Every structure is written in structure tokens, then in C-alpha cells.
Homo-oligomer: A and B are copies of this chain.
Amino acid sequence: MPYFDAASTAPPHPVARQALLAALDEGWADPARLHRSARQARMLLDAARETVAEVLGARADEISFTASGTQALQLGVLGTLRGHRRRGAHLVHSAVEHSAVLHTAERWEADGGSATAVPVDRHGRVSAEEFAAAVRPDTALAVLQSANHEVGTLQPVTETAALLGDVPLLVDAAQSAGRLPVPAGWSVLAASAHKWGGPAGVGVLAVRKGVRYSSPLPADDREGGRVPGFTNVPAIVAAAASLRAVRAEAEAENARLRALVDLVRRRVPELVPAVEVVGHPELRLPHLVTFSCLYVDGEVLLTELDRAGFAVSSGSSCTSSTLTPSHVLAAMGVLTEGNLRISLPTGTTRPEVDAFLEVLPRVVAEVRAPLGLDLPPTGSADALVLDTLGKRCPIPVIELAKHVGEVAPGGRIAVLSDDEAARHDIPAWCEMCGHDYAGEAPATEYGGGRGTAYLVTVRSDRGR
């Protein structure tokens, strides 16, 4: 079964499996003890630390191993903020960071700190200047990802770092480490081994020599005082071995996967009507592509693709378990529904991608069929009111798509809705389909009940 969800987790690299097995036999003892078994574990740990440091461009004594990328981010953010308390309690981060960063920022604010989320452009990329402009005299830490985990857009890390002065920059390299060189400019670096084909249970927290750090957790000697608990030597050994292997293969593999992703980016809009490929067209990860199929739910698509034998991910959905749309897509101002993320693991083949491109149009068509989207020819009404009050997203946008053809160019449609997601989705749909979003008004002004009227001026028949 083709697995196209490497951005969630990569299948273990063969080298990881092999190294884990060997290290289970040779490195299971407690590296903090003094006997022979312990010394052997310590030697394996030291060697793994050297390897990871070398690949990531750090010194061995700057590297601590955590239990996950999320733990690396939480500790990196809170520990660096604590270490710079004298400077202030302000945190700057992009609006499209991993939820682990956003949740840590929320906790920081709940505990009395402050945080600023820097907006991104329509491709999900921050401007280095805009990011640097958010820095204040009391800013104690800035956080920026190397590449976005949902849409693959690369961030201007090095350019941003150059504008930050002495404000430390934490770079979340989880999506790129192993595949791409770590961009220069970090003071603190976070990564996650299972994203590069290492085992679960290993994250990396690197803190540059001289950067002040104060652990937010109770005291513990392990990992330079940064990560409490028994050190997982076998998994760390496997993480280091696979990082080296993946990095060595990266140049060739990136070129191969980039060609496959380019194929998906080009063919999907040709094969599937009403699709928007999101993320930066050039400055992006080689192995990841995300697109939105209008009028349908990402989870439904994902489930149908799974039935057809393809493992993909949906960046977001109005009906996901958390009931909140993707913060990344929302920050980009693109539609948050019908979203599919295709992320190719090492070794993905052209026939696998071809098979996906063959199946996708049928699956999307089947999911859309019951919606009745066979749009009538352009109509001549001057105005139309679509009452979707009480209906959940994506119904408002589906109704809009169904009926837009009934209104003449220049005419006005008022979509009445009481679902908060419509406030974002209707303008995004307009942007995508070439109509003008004309603002909102109380639904009562259009004969509706409690809710909002979202006003659309029909400009053309693009995107129907």
C-alpha cells in the first residue's frame, strides 16, 4: 500500500532498524553508571551525539536528546525564555508554526508572558522584515520553522536571523532535518528523529554554546541538565545512524522526489476540477505537496483514498476531532476544507504516484457526486440570498458554488450563515474562484435570523 504520509512519520529507514537491533544488545545499560556495560552504552551515546552534531552543524556538547520533537520544542521554547527572563517575557513566532509551538506560546501567555504571531503570505511564508519588526525590547525569544509541515513552504530563516540582533532564534527543523541542510542562524534548534526515518522516542534539542537556558522542568543530571529521565541509548543510536544515512542519500533522493511532486502539482489541477495547490510554488520541501479539493471534506477524501489503497493526510477539516480548521491554511487565507497533504517517503516510485493520479479524480468525483455540483449555465439574476443558517461548514460554500451560476456577472449573492468557519472560507473561496468578496452584514438585513450575511459580487465564471 503506497504510503504518502511521510510528514506525519517516515517508515523506519533500514539502517535505523539495524542500528536499533545492534544497540539493544550492546547499549541497553544505564550510561550514567560506572561498570563496563554502562561505559559501553556511554560510548555508543557519545558517538551518536557526535554524528547528530556533525550532520546538523552543531557541537556535540550543544546537543541534548529529548523524547520527541514536541518535547524538544516545548523545552526549547520555555527553557530559552526562562534563560532570558531578564530581557523580558515576549515571544515572537510565525502564525504557521507547529501546534506544539502555538500551544507552548498559549501556556506561556497563560502564565503571564506575551506572544506575537507574525502573519504569513498566501504561500505560507513569513517576510523576514515583518518578522523582525515584531521584535520588541522585551522580546526574549523568536521561533521560526525551517519549513512548514502542512504545505512545505520554506521559511527565510537565515535572512530573518540576520535581522534579529541578539534575540535568540529557535529554529524548528522537524520537517527538513536530514533532507536539507539546517539553515544558518539558529541559537536553538529542534528536530525529531521519526520524521527522518529514525525510531520514535528521539527528538533533538540543540542550544548554541553561550545561549542562556534554564530548564522549565525539575532538576535532573541527564542530557546536560536539559532532559530528565533514563537516556534511550538504543533509539538514539538508531536515530543517529539513520540521520547519517538519510543525509548521504538526500541529494539524489530529493531530486527524484521533487520530480514526482512536480508531477503531482502539475497533473492534479488538470485531472480534478476546482482544485487549488497551496504552498510556495518554488521555495518548498522536495517531497511534500498539499492541495484543496473544493466543496468536499478532507477527511472523507482521505478515507476514500485509504479504501483505494493510498495513505495520505488531511491538513485540516471542519469535522476533524478538534473541530478547528487548520491554523496554517487559515493563516494563509486559503480554503481550509477538502485539503490533502501528500508527503513522499524515501523510495517512493513513479508507478506509485501514477497509480495515485489515476485514482484521485474518480475518488473526488464520487465524493462530490451527491452534492449536485453540475452547475447550470450563467444566469441573469441580479441578486440572490442563500440561507444556510444552522448548516455547518462546508455547506455554505457548497451552496455558493451550486448557485453562483444563477447570478449574472456583477450581481450580488448574500450567503447567510451562523458557522464561524464561513467568515474565513467564503472570502477564501472568492479569492480562489475569481469573485469579489464584498464584506459582511447582519443576516437580518437579508431576511434571515441570527447570523451573518457574507456578500459576494459575481465577477466572472472562473472556477465554476
Contact = CB atoms under 8 A, between A and B. Distances in A.
Interface of A: 1, 3, 5, 8-9, 11-12, 17, 20-21, 24, 28-30, 33-38, 67-71, 74, 100, 103-104, 106-107, 192, 194, 199-201, 203, 217-221, 228-235, 299, 302-303, 305-306, 310-314, 321-322
Contacts of A230: 9, 68-70, 192, 194, 200
Q: How many protomers of this protein does the assembly include?
A: 2
Contacts of A34: 299, 302-303, 306, 314
A1 B36 contact: yes
Contact of A312 (B11, B35, B71, B303): B35
A1 B201 contact: no
Given A35-B311, A67-B232, 11 more contacts: A28-B194, A33-B311, A34-B306, A34-B314, A35-B310, A67-B71, A68-B228, A68-B230, A106-B219, A199-B234, A200-B232
Contacts of A8: 29-30, 33, 38
Contacts of A103: 218-220
A388 to B, nearest CB: 27
Contacts of A306: 34-36
A74 B228 contact: yes
A218 B73 CA distance: 11
Nearest to A222: B70
B36 A11 contact: no
B35 A221 contact: no
Contact of A70 (B9, B11, B203, B220): B220
Contacts of A107: 217-219
Given A33-B313, A68-B230, A199-B24, A104 B12 contact: no
Nearest to A299: B34
30 contacts: A3-B35, A5-B37, A5-B38, A8-B29, A8-B38, A9-B230, A11-B28, A12-B28, A17-B24, A33-B313, A34-B302, A34-B303, A34-B314, A35-B306, A35-B310, A36-B306, A37-B311, A67-B232, A68-B228, A70-B230, A74-B228, A100-B218, A100-B220, A107-B217, A194-B230, A199-B235, A200-B233, A201-B201, A201-B232, A221-B322
Contacts of A234: 199-200
